[in-house]
């Protein structure tokens, strides 16, 4: 039983060390390279993915009926069916399986979690295919974000869980001195870690593994059995994940049902029944503010961790690298067609223009500069498809049209079928212009317009821009913010305002790092301090309340 812990101890120790230092580290190589993952890994995974299509997915879960309606945003039905146990069956099995799991030591559970992550990593190409063909991401992004980066986030959660559990000593001798020459009072005390109850992970359609792994591994490592309720359009990545997890659990002598899949169809959703079940102690939710609010209000006797949505902003004050700034912003707007919770939406620019290394640029110059950089990035349809990906939900295309019709279009979105696909849609970024203070514009920019829609918002001053962006973050939530400025005082002003609004701020990004990227072990993804989510991935608060402690004390020697 200690074998897996010893096998992965070096990885775990390093993860714990880096999570404290928050420097760069990754346990799982992000390059989709044959040298790392095996020369045939890519071809094998493609073949394996094709072989999965049109068949039942065998996870060893019995159920009276099956579900499965996944469609690849790249233009075909997956045709995969999944056994769909009822909520009652899932809870009964999870409760039964959880009993032995709760008795394992924290280190033993960590070893098993790390073995699961290790084997998931070996299947990164398969996971990449599954993520690509459920989310619509380009393959490179699906591999990286859905594979190694998600695995790093899972490992980070295990590392925090181990740190928190190690704080609880197994035993202590409590010896209280007594006055008057009396013997001290002596108690032998011992403590055990007890689970909260079943953990439920409710996943999203755009980042099924990256957003799913932290809650899954945090609950698992702290001794809870887990039920994963993936988005009905993105079941496969978590099904593959859980097949690996269940195999490792069984090899280690545990019931496979320590982790279970709870698949459903869009027209018969089970999330509400599942998250409110009395046996559920923990809910991890990624999705819309509307359903996030429902979960927070209705699962209120559970520990609920949410990542919801918000309106992310960029404030442009000045720059010493105008070209780099425009290119960097253009990539952030284009990546996965803005279908990221971290994508910027509002770009605030002073009406009087900005100072740059290329001289003064007017508001119109800046708008054109960013628009041109976007046009250049997406000019080749082949190359563009890899960056933009495909549109996951047709409603996003409708939204692009509707918002474009209401606003002033500086760059129109083009929607087309990516080369070599049939029935898929991709969409280039729409850039609209808006005036701060214009009521119609304010209404548009102050709501999340999910997808490839952004606004250049004209403000009187940079200070007004910062105040508007930070105020919006407080009111509607925001996960990221960026500022471009050559003024130290302005950066301090922005840092204060966005910190008070609970938003992580990126400053003067012009190179290979983008505001929408969040690095495991280093960036606290979501602050938990504004409506974009109530928790951070990952910190101590994300794991410390997933277990409780029960004590036993008795007279020493008694």
Window 285-324: residues binding a copy of itself (CB under 8 A): 296-297, 300-301
Among 105, 421, 463, 545, binds a copy of itself (CB under 8 A): 545
Query: Are 78 and 133 within 8 A, CB to CB?
Result: yes
Question: C-beta of 215: minimal distance to a copy of itself in Å?
Answer: 16
How many residues sit close enough to a copy of itself to count as binding (CB under 8 A)?
68
Is 500 an interacting residue with respect to a copy of itself (CB under 8 A)?
Answer: yes
**Separation between Cα atoms, residue 159 and residue 218, nearest integer Å:** 9
Whichever of 47 and 549 has its CB closer to a copy of itself, that residue is 549
SS (H, E, C) 222-266: CCCCEEEECCCCCCHHHHHHHHHHHHHHHHCCCCHHHEEECCCCC
Rounded Cα distance between 352 and 408, Å, is: 19
Regarding beta strands 280-286 and 198-202, do their DSSP bridges make them parallel or antiparallel, or are they unpaired?
parallel
Please give the Cα distance from 325 to 327 (Å, whole number): 5
C-alpha triplet 345, 351, 352: angle, nearest 5°: 135
> Which stretch, 86-94, 143-151, 390-398, 509-517, contacts a copy of itself (CB under 8 A)?
509-517
* Binding flag, residue 557, a copy of itself (CB under 8 A): no
| Options 69, 95, 487, 522; binder of a copy of itself; rule CB under 8 A | 522
Tell me the three state secondary structure of residue 432: strand
Which three-class secondary structure state does DSSP give residue 428?
Answer: coil
Q: Between 338 and 533, name the residue whose CB sits nearer to a copy of itself.
A: 533
Task: Look up residue 495 and give its two tokens.
Answer: 């840092």
Is 461 an interacting residue with respect to a copy of itself (CB under 8 A)?
Answer: no
**Minimum separation from the CB atom of position 10 to a copy of itself (A):** 19
Is residue 196 at the binding interface for a copy of itself, with CB under 8 A as the rule? yes
Rounded distance, CA 151 to CA 96, Å?
Answer: 28
Q: Does 140 bind a copy of itself (CB under 8 A)?
A: no
Give the separation between CA 442 and CA 475, rounded to whole angstroms: 13
**Is 169 a binder of a copy of itself (CB under 8 A)?**
yes
Query: Least distance from C-beta 53 to a copy of itself, angstroms?
Result: 33
Ranges of beta strands (E only) in 127-206 are 171-176, 185-195, 198-202
Query: With respect to a copy of itself, which residue has the nearer C-beta, 19 or 457?
Result: 19
Q: What is the dihedral of CA 508, 510, 512, 516, to 10 degrees?
A: 60
Which range binds a copy of itself by CB under 8 A, 183-191, 198-206, 391-399, 403-411? 183-191
CB nearer to a copy of itself: give 76 or 524: 524
User: How far is the C-alpha of 213 from the C-alpha of 151, rounded, in Å?
Assistant: 7
475 touches a copy of itself by CB under 8 A: no
With CB under 8 A as the contact rule, the residue among 316, 498, 516, 532 that binds a copy of itself is: 498
Q: Does 96 bind a copy of itself (CB under 8 A)?
A: no
- Residue 416, interface with a copy of itself (CB under 8 A)? no
Kindly identify the residues of this chain, within the stretch 200-219, that bind a copy of itself according to CB under 8 A. Answer: none
The yes or no reply on residue 513 touching a copy of itself (CB under 8 A) is yes
Nearer residue to a copy of itself within complex by CB, 139 or 498: 498
Q: Please, which residue, 1 or 21, has the CB nearer to a copy of itself?
A: 21
Cβ neighbour number for residue 288 with a 10 Å cutoff: 14
Cβ 106 to a copy of itself shortest distance, Å? 14
- Residues contacting 527, CB < 8 A, separation 6+: 502, 503, 504, 533, 536
Q: Please pick, from the candidates 260, 433, 527, 538, the single residue that binds a copy of itself as defined by CB under 8 A.
A: 527
In the complex, least distance from residue 110 CB atom to a copy of itself, rounded to whole angstroms: 17
- Give me the residues paired with residue 408 across strands: 433
The answer to whether residue 553 forms part of the interface with a copy of itself (CB under 8 A) is: yes
Does position 173 interact with a copy of itself (CB under 8 A)? The reply is yes
In whole angstroms, give the CA distance from residue 321 to residue 361: 12
Angle at 108 between CA 107 and CA 113, to 5 degrees: 95
Considering only residues 14, 71, 119, 192, which one is a binding residue for a copy of itself as defined by CB under 8 A? 192
SS3 (DSSP) at 495:
helix
Pick the binder of a copy of itself from 43, 172, 395, 412 (CB under 8 A). Answer: 172
| Dihedral sign computed on CA atoms, order 426, 432, 436, 442 | negative
Inter-axis angle of helices 41-52 and 124-135, to 10 degrees? 50
Instruction: Assign 375 to helix, strand or coil.
Output: helix
DSSP 527: -
Site for a copy of itself in 20-39 (CB under 8 A): 20-24, 31
Please provide the DSSP assignment of 86-148 as one string. Answer: -HHHHHHHHHHHHHHHHHS-HHHHHHHHHHHHHHHHHTHHHHHHHHHHHH---HHHHHHHHTH
Does residue 556 bind a copy of itself (CB under 8 A)? no
Cα separation, 281 vs 83, in Å, equals 24
Q: In this complex, which beta carbon is closest to a copy of itself, that of residue 98 or of residue 263?
A: 98
Closest approach of Cβ 253 to a copy of itself, in Å? 19
Token pair of 115 as six digits: 């073995």
- At what angle are helices 148-166 and 124-135 packed, to 10 degrees? 110
Determine the interface stretch with a copy of itself among 120-128, 341-349, 439-447, 537-545 (rule: CB under 8 A). Answer: 537-545
* Cα distances (angstroms) measured from residue 408 to each of 58, 404, 431, 440, 444: 51, 7, 9, 11, 11
CB of 205 to a copy of itself, least distance (A): 26
From 128-136, 351-359, 447-455, 518-526, give the range in contact with a copy of itself by CB under 8 A: 518-526
Indicate whether 505 belongs to the interface with a copy of itself (CB under 8 A).
yes
| Chain contacts with a copy of itself (rule: CB under 8 A) | 20-24, 31, 164, 167-169, 172-179, 185, 187, 189, 191-192, 194, 196, 296-297, 300-301, 491, 495, 498-500, 502-513, 519, 522-524, 527-529, 536, 539-541, 544-545, 548-555, 558
């Amino acid at each position: 039983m200690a074998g897996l812990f010893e096998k992965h101890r070096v990885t775990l120790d390093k993860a714990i060390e880096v999570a404290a230092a928050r420097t760069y580290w990754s346990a799982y190589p992000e390059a989709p390279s044959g040298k790392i993952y095996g020369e045939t890994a890519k071809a094998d995974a493609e073949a394996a993915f094709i072989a999965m299509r049109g068949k039942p997915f065998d996870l060893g879960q019995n159920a009276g009926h099956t579900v499965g309606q996944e469609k690849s945003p790249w233009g075909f039905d997956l045709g995969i069916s999944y056994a769909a146990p009822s909520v009652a069956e899932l809870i009964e099995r999870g409760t039964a399986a959880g009993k032995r799991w709760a008795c394992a030591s924290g280190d033993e559970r960590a070893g098993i979690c790390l073995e699961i992550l290790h084997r998931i990593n070996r299947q990164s190409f398969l996971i990449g295919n599954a993520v690509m063909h459920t989310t619509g991401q380009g393959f490179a992004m699906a591999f990286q974000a859905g594979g190694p980066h998600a695995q790093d986030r899972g490992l980070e959660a295990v590392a925090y869980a181990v740190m928190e559990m190690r704080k609880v000593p197994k035993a202590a001798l409590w010896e209280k001195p007594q006055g008057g020459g009396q013997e001290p009072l002596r108690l032998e005390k011992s403590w055990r870690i007890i689970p909260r109850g079943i953990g439920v992970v409710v996943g999203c359609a755009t980042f099924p593994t990256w957003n799913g792994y932290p809650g899954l591994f945090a609950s698992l490592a702290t001794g809870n059995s887990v039920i994963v309720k993936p988005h009905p359009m993105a079941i496969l990545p978590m099904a593959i994940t859980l097949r690996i997890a269940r195999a490792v659990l069984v090899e280690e002598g545990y019931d496979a049902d320590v982790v279970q899949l709870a698949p459903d169809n869009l027209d018969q959703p089970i999330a509400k029944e599942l998250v409110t079940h009395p046996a559920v102690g923990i809910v991890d939710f990624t999705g819309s503010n509307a359903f996030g609010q429902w979960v927070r209000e209705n699962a209120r006797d559970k520990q609920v961790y949410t990542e919801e949505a918000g309106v992310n902003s960029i404030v442009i004050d000045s720059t010493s690298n105008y070209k780099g700034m425009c290119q960097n912003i253009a990539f952030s707007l284009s990546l996965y067609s803005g279908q990221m919770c971290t994508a910027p939406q509002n770009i605030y620019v002073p009406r009087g223009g900005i100072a740059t290394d290329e001289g003064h640029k007017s508001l119109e110059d800046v708008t054109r500069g960013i628009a041109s950089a976007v046009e250049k990035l997406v000019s080749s349809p082949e190359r563009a498809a890899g960056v933009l990906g495909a549109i996951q939900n047709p409603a996003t295309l409708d939204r692009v049209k509707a918002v474009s019709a209401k606003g002033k279009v500086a760059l129109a979105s083009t929607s087309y079928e990516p080369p070599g696909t049939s029935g898929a849609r991709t969409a280039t970024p729409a850039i609209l212009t808006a005036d701060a203070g214009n009521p119609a514009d304010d209404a548009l920019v102050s709501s999340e317009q999910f997808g490839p829609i952004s606004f250049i918002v004209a403000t009187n001053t940079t200070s007004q821009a910062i105040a508007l962006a930070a105020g919006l973050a407080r009111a509607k939530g925001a996960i990221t913010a960026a500022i471009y400025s050559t003024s130290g005082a302005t950066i301090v002003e922005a840092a204060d305002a966005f910190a008070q609004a609970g938003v992580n701020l990126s400053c003067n990004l012009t190179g290979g790092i983008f505001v929408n990227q969040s690095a495991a072990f280093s960036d606290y993804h979501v602050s938990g301090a504004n409506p974009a989510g109530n928790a951070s991935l990952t910190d101590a608060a994300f794991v410390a309340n997933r277990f409780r402690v029960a004590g036993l004390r008795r007279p020493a020697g008694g």
